Structure 1
Amino acid sequence: MGVRSDYWEQIRASGFRLPGDRPLDDLTTELVQMIGDPDPDVRDGIAYPVLATWVEEGVYDDLLAGFGDGVSEGLFTGLGEDVTDSVLRRSFSALLLAEAVLRDTKTKVVHSDAIFRWGDRAASWFVRERDLRGFVEGRGWAHAVAHGADLIGALARSHHFGRLELTVLLDVVADRLLTPTSYRLHHGEDDRLAFAVMVVLHRNQVGIDVLEPWIERLAAALVAPKMDDHETAPEWPTPMAGNTRAFLRSLHLLLALGVRGQQTPQDLALFGKPPEVRADLLLVLLRVLRGSIPGIAAPPATPAP
């Protein structure tokens, strides 16, 4: 598998304890390369859990800004390619960068400049990613959209992000959904994206004045194009329209049901109460979703006189 397999198997068997026989820099460099390995046992079974455990346990706390900078470079490895193994490095770099952001949310050890830099890189990668495969035969999970959603959700939790930055994250989600693609997302990406937006909503910094036009922008993708008499109707819904509709349905459901995050003091506090915009946004989503299935959804009830 291109790495010292016995060595890393021993670390996995130890519960991912940090070994003392090699410099941390060397171990990190090797593991970061491994997160792009086409073998899922190397990538998903060793490299990611080892690095995520070390981040969570504070191994990188004094080095977290540099660690995140290095990991974020992997977001651009082979960017623009489709149906190649390079997506694995990009996707798992996003998942690992999310761990670094969440660690800073707990410890506040990274300057805001670094978090903003990671956010810029995440946004640039996410809207430009072309390879949206979920599970890949022989490779395991690629899941770039789901992992990108997890990164958006981590950034949305950051105390460095205020109303402006949270609004930008919403636009990034919309840009991702509205970018034409041939991929239909059917491995839970809609739920992961909706949860990321729920994190933004729970911050209670973005009002309905921003959210309603944002929803309307997405809803415009749900309207089938009008065709002239001589034109052949295209496939409908297109993958982009179908993905967007699935996302809006998931967002409506999560807003109605409520969500929970990790069992950390930060998430318990964040998700302890419904977002302040819940009632207003539910009405907007109901209107949009009703309009997306005309002839099937019942019309709004007429108020009693």
Structure 2
Amino acid sequence: MKHSELQSIIKNDYTVPEGADYRNLVSVLEDNLGDPDQDIRDPSFEILYAWCSKGILTDTEQIELGNRVVTNLSVGLGEMGTDSVFLRSFSALVLCGPIYADRLFSKGKLEGRNSFLTSDIFNKWLNQAVESFANEQDLRGYIDIKKWAHSIAHFGDLFNQFANNPLSKKEEHIKILNAIAKKVVQPANQIFSGYDDGRLCRIVATILMRDLLTLKDYEEWLQQFISPFTKAVWWDEKPDPNTFLVRLNARLNTRMFLRTLHFMLLFGVKQHTGFEDSYFKKISQYRDTLLDLVAQALKKLDNNDFYYKEKSD
């Protein structure tokens, strides 16, 4: 499909073009997800997402779509600097569609439609997403000419939908938080760009507002950001030039994430379709304690290199 045809669908409130079979169009749109041309790639995922939330696709078709795009998350996994990142990244966004639609339908937001995902399907998708996220190596944000790849941010959007779906309980929330921690501290070929840290912190906001975890759960989670970077573990007087940069990037990504998390807790996050309540209408009971814990984590991560440290600390 041409860019003009895709834009025509969007401008007409995602209505299926007259005389067209949407099933055939779904196949074409899926093929477009890995297109290096943003003018083809972006509207294609946007239409697929809308056709899920608007109920154009049947329950069975949404599950089938999810099953197909979740396998795309592993296509070319481990590659860096190739166009395969577009298929993985934009398939993550499309997978948001059935998960979001399931939550909408479960709340009666579309007449005649009900929740259609089972726990087995939901957890199969979640587990595959967690595995692919852990092994994603292409962290590029904006790319000249081809524009946004944004795999980390798009996985963040996907995990936010997982976290906000009623099928996710305490176990799933801990799994998602652990996946974030492992990714953030992972040695990386570059630092996060394109506000990836903010997209990941939005997941934490969702989980806080779902209020299924204890303070101890959050304390144990935050420890994962500190332990890899204690001075004894991280610092080396004669660093290996083959590993130093990727380890430094991991430390910078961790510091960036914790700073963003701190200010997210302090200021809240902008309300969007992922939330039922604005941050300050349903503020977490752990907010003040977590603000202190995150601040302490930042100081420990700093190893007294930058922040002023009182002698009594």
Structure 2 match to 1:38: 36
Inter-partner Cα distance in structure 2 for 1:123 and 1:47: 24
Q: Verify the 8 A CA contact 2:185 2:254 in the aligned structure 1.
A: yes
Inter-partner Cα distance in structure 1 for 2:198 and 2:135: 21
Q: Which amino acid counterpart does residue 96 of structure 1 have in structure 2?
A: V
Q: Which amino acid counterpart does residue 214 of structure 2 have in structure 1?
A: G
Shift in CA distance, 272/232, structure 1 to aligned 2, threshold 3 Å: same
Q: Verify the 8 A CA contact 2:190 2:246 in the aligned structure 1.
A: no
Cα offset for 1:286? 1.4
- Is 1:249 the counterpart of 2:259? The answer is yes
Structure 1 match to 2:110: none
Q: Verify the 8 A CA contact 1:222 1:244 in the aligned structure 2.
A: no
- Is 1:60 the counterpart of 2:26? The answer is no
Tell me the SS of whatever aligns to 2:73. Answer: helix
Cα offset for 1:49? 1.8
Shift in CA distance, 270/120, structure 1 to aligned 2, threshold 3 Å: farther
Gaps of 5+ in 2: 106-114
Cα offset for 1:86? 0.6
- Is 1:279 the counterpart of 2:288? The answer is yes
Output aligned runs, 1:29-178, within 5 Å: 29-44=27-42, 46-62=43-59, 63-107=61-105, 108-178=115-185
Output aligned runs, 1:193-208, within 5 Å: 193-208=200-215
Structure 2 match to 1:291: 300
State the superposition RMSD in angstroms: 2.5
Q: Verify the 8 A CA contact 2:188 2:246 in the aligned structure 1.
A: no
Cα deviations by residue, 1:240-293 (Å, 9 ceiling, x for unpaired): 1100110011111101112243257x6227873111221221221111112333
Inter-partner Cα distance in structure 1 for 2:36 and 2:223: 40
Structure 2 match to 1:213: 220
Tell me the SS of whatever aligns to 1:283. Answer: helix
Cα offset for 1:149? 0.6
Structure 1 match to 2:249: 239
TM-score under structure 1 normalisation? 0.89
Inter-partner Cα distance in structure 2 for 1:177 and 1:207: 22
Q: Verify the 8 A CA contact 2:89 2:155 in the aligned structure 1.
A: yes
Deviates more, 1:124-133 or 1:219-228: 219-228
TM-score under structure 2 normalisation? 0.87
Tell me the SS of whatever aligns to 1:267. Answer: coil
Inter-partner Cα distance in structure 2 for 1:41 and 1:114: 32
Structure 2 match to 1:28: 26
Q: Which amino acid counterpart does residue 51 of structure 1 have in structure 2?
A: L
Tell me the SS of whatever aligns to 1:186. Answer: coil
Shift in CA distance, 145/232, structure 1 to aligned 2, threshold 3 Å: closer
Deviates more, 1:103-112 or 1:149-158: 103-112
Q: Verify the 8 A CA contact 1:77 1:90 in the aligned structure 2.
A: yes
Q: Which amino acid counterpart does residue 194 of structure 2 have in structure 1?
A: H
Q: Verify the 8 A CA contact 2:49 2:96 in the aligned structure 1.
A: no
Q: Which amino acid counterpart does residue 15 of structure 1 have in structure 2?
A: D
Cα offset for 1:235? 5.2
Structure 1 match to 2:277: 268
Cα offset for 1:173? 0.5
Q: Verify the 8 A CA contact 1:61 1:109 in the aligned structure 2.
A: no
Cα deviations by residue, 1:155-200 (Å, 9 ceiling, x for unpaired): 0001011111110011111121122111111210011111112211
Tell me the SS of whatever aligns to 1:127. Answer: helix
Gaps of 5+ in 1: none
Deviates more, 1:100-109 or 1:216-225: 216-225
Inter-partner Cα distance in structure 2 for 1:231 and 1:59: 56
What is the aligned-residue identity percentage? 27
Cα deviations by residue, 1:10-48 (Å, 9 ceiling, x for unpaired): 43443321124232221111101111111000001x202
Cα offset for 1:301? 10
Inter-partner Cα distance in structure 1 for 2:33 and 2:280: 31
